[in-house]
């Protein structure tokens, strides 16, 4: 990160805190998406296996992942619909385009939307996103003294960023306060990805039909509120995970686990049917059988890099269980 970009981002955060504490959601929004200096708005390579990248995703596995997704999308749609549909990829990394990695596909056209760009969809489509939702800002709560308190960010007298408790819940959190568990272990931390719900609500309000296909890592509400006492927020930098979100803003990815239940509910309320949440393993094995069988049988019993990559995508010890797929179909 260039010195001028770093100084500009710190000034933006400090100015936001000048009149009092801000929510973690606001801090993360600045750290990730401040124009020209946020983690996702700077022109840099973030994703890949090399030591100078911060993390890698299933899409980093190249044409095998692309073949599996394209096949599943075609087969999930009603017969003949793929040929009429535009394949829209949301939150693609700079220079990345999923369909360019396959030799051929059935879709009428394709469109790529980068991180932070406006999302528009209409007509018959396949809307695909790989780790879009976990890159959105989130709120942070902690159960203290018999009540849920929202955590925030403030400036010390020395101008350093520090973790604080806000005097009151911010409006988005207050709006869903009724969802929060009535009781919890004192000190229980809950990272609350409400921006995912707002983003999905906007997408579902648009005039499109077809398939919505969301790949990400996440948990159920039950799991987030009972099985994760330390929360799920973390940073990634040079393939190392850490938990100090205020360290080097703009240099590190900041993320938390998606909560699947409200997203599935929003899809059902928007007339998508069926709506299905399954592990990445189950999704590819059940929905992309044609592509998987071609990869497995095409190597003739000898070592195959493509077959090895397929195993990494679906094996429970690798990406198969860590990632999930939420998908649904909106009929015309």
pLDDT tens, position by position, 19-70: 899 999 999 999 999 998 999 988 777 666 777 665 555 555 568 999 999 9
Cα–Cα distance for residue pair 34/23, rounded to 1 Å = 16
Give me the pLDDT at residue 52, please: 67
- Domain limits, the chain: 1-44+139-192+233-254, 49-137+193-217+257-332
Q: Does pLDDT of 158 surpass 70? A: yes
180 burial (CB, 10 Å; 0-12 / 13-18 / 19+) is middle
pLDDT tens, position by position, 219-237: 999 999 999 999 999 999 8
* Half-sphere exposure for 105 (CA within 13 Å, toward CB): 27
CATH number of 49-137+193-217+257-332, picked from 3.30.1330.10, 1.10.10.60, 1.10.3720.10, 3.40.50.12710: 3.40.50.12710
Q: Does pLDDT of 302 surpass 80? A: no
Lowest average pLDDT, out of 92-106, 115-129, 186-200, 296-310, goes to 296-310
Q: Does pLDDT of 330 surpass 60? A: yes
First vs last C-alpha separation in the chain:
47
Q: Does pLDDT of 298 surpass 80? A: no
Q: Which residues contact 291 (CB under 8 A, 6 or more apart)?
A: 67, 68, 70, 71, 72
Question: Token pair for residue 37?
Answer: 């200096």
Query: What is the reported pTM?
Result: 0.91
Identify whether the C-beta of residue 199 lies closer than 8 Å to the C-beta of residue 136. Answer: yes
Give me the pLDDT at residue 55, please: 59
Cα–Cα distance for residue pair 255/1, rounded to 1 Å = 19
Q: How many CB atoms lie within 10 A of CB 297?
A: 10
The CA–CA distances, whole Å, from 12 to 2, 163, 190, 314 equal 16, 17, 26, 42
Q: Does pLDDT of 318 surpass 70? A: no
Nearest alpha carbon to residue 23 among 32, 10, 13: 13
The CA–CA distances, whole Å, from 39 to 22, 182, 196, 297, 318 equal 19, 36, 18, 42, 26
Cα–Cα distance for residue pair 234/143, rounded to 1 Å = 19
Q: How many CB atoms lie within 10 A of CB 199?
A: 19
Question: Token pair for residue 176?
Answer: 């869903």
Nearest alpha carbon to residue 54 among 242, 208, 214: 242
pLDDT tens, position by position, 164-175: 999 999 999 999
Local confidence band at 260 (pLDDT 50, 70, 90 cut-offs): very high
Cα–Cα distance for residue pair 191/234, rounded to 1 Å = 10
Local confidence band at 307 (pLDDT 50, 70, 90 cut-offs): confident
Please state, rounded to an integer, the average pLDDT across all residues of the chain.
91
Q: Does pLDDT of 107 surpass 70? A: yes
117 burial (CB, 10 Å; 0-12 / 13-18 / 19+) is exposed
């Amino acid at each position: 990160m260039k010195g001028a970009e770093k100084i500009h981002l710190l000034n933006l955060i400090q100015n936001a805190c000048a009149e009092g504490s801000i929510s973690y959601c606001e801090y993360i929004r600045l750290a990730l998406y401040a124009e020209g200096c946020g983690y996702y708005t700077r022109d840099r390579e973030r994703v890949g296996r090399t030591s100078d990248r911060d993390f890698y995703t299933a899409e980093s596995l190249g044409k095998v992942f692309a073949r599996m997704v394209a096949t599943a999308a075609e087969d999930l749609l009603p017969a003949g619909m793929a040929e009429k549909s535009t394949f829209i990829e949301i939150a693609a990394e700079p220079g990345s385009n999923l369909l360019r990695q396959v030799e051929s596909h059935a879709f009428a056209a394709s469109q790529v939307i980068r991180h932070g760009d406006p999302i528009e969809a209409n007509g018959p489509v396949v809307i695909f996103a790989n780790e879009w939702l976990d890159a959105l800002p989130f709120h942070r709560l902690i159960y203290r003294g018999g009540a849920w308190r929202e955590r925030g960010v403030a400036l010390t007298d020395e101008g350093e960023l520090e973790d604080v408790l806000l005097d009151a819940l911010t409006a988005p959190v207050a709006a869903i306060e009724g969802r929060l568990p009535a009781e919890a272990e004192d000190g229980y931390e809950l990272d609350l990805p409400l921006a995912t719900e707002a983003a999905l609500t906007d997408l579902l309000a648009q005039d499109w039909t077809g398939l919505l296909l969301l790949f990400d890592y996440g948990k159920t509400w039950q799991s987030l509120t009972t099985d994760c006492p330390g929360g799920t927020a973390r940073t990634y930098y040079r393939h190392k995970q850490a938990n100090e979100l205020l360290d080097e803003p703009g240099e590190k990815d900041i993320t938390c686990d998606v909560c699947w239940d409200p997203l599935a509910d929003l899809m059902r309320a928007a007339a998508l049917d069926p709506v299905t949440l399954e592990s990445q393993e189950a999704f590819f094995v059940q929905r992309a059988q044609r592509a998987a069988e071609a990869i497995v049988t095409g190597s003739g019993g000898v070592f195959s890099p493509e077959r090895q990559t397929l195993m990494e995508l679906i094996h429970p010890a690798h990406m198969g269980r860590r990632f999930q797929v939420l998908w649904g179909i909106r009929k015309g």
